[in-house]
Amino acid sequence: MPSSGPAADAARQAFREHLDAKGHAVNNARAAVTGLEAAFAMGTLRRTPELHQMLADLGVALDQEDGQRLGGKSAEAAKFILRAIAGELENA
């Protein structure tokens, strides 16, 4: 059963705003993940198995060595996974 109420709606909206934000896709993805992790920790949203896997996949796309700048394929992968997460958030 999906989470409901104003806090859950606000968490979903905040995620969508990160998805649509101007700026680098990788930075936007990191900010979106930080917001989701906070919502999960507070119990505002429920982490579904699908979200868990998608976030793990996103983590791989965003993984970098110190000083390494991500772009290109990582940015495209982040955008793709973020769109999938946005769709799954209705079940969270």
For residue 57 the two structure tokens come to 């996949």
The predicted pLDDT at position 32 comes to: 92
Nearest to 86 by CA among 16, 8, 5: 16
Domain residue limits at 66: 6-91
Tell me if residue 90 falls in helix, strand or coil. Answer: helix
In terms of Cβ atoms closer than 10 Å to its own Cβ (0-12, 13-18, 19+), residue 80 is: middle
The pLDDT of 41-66, averaged and rounded, is: 85
54: in domain: yes
1: in domain: no
Give the amino acid at 90: E
81: in domain: yes
Number of domains, the chain = 1
pTM listed for this prediction: 0.79
Judged against a pLDDT cut of 70, whether residue 26 lies above it is answered with yes
The pLDDT of 19-44, averaged and rounded, is: 89
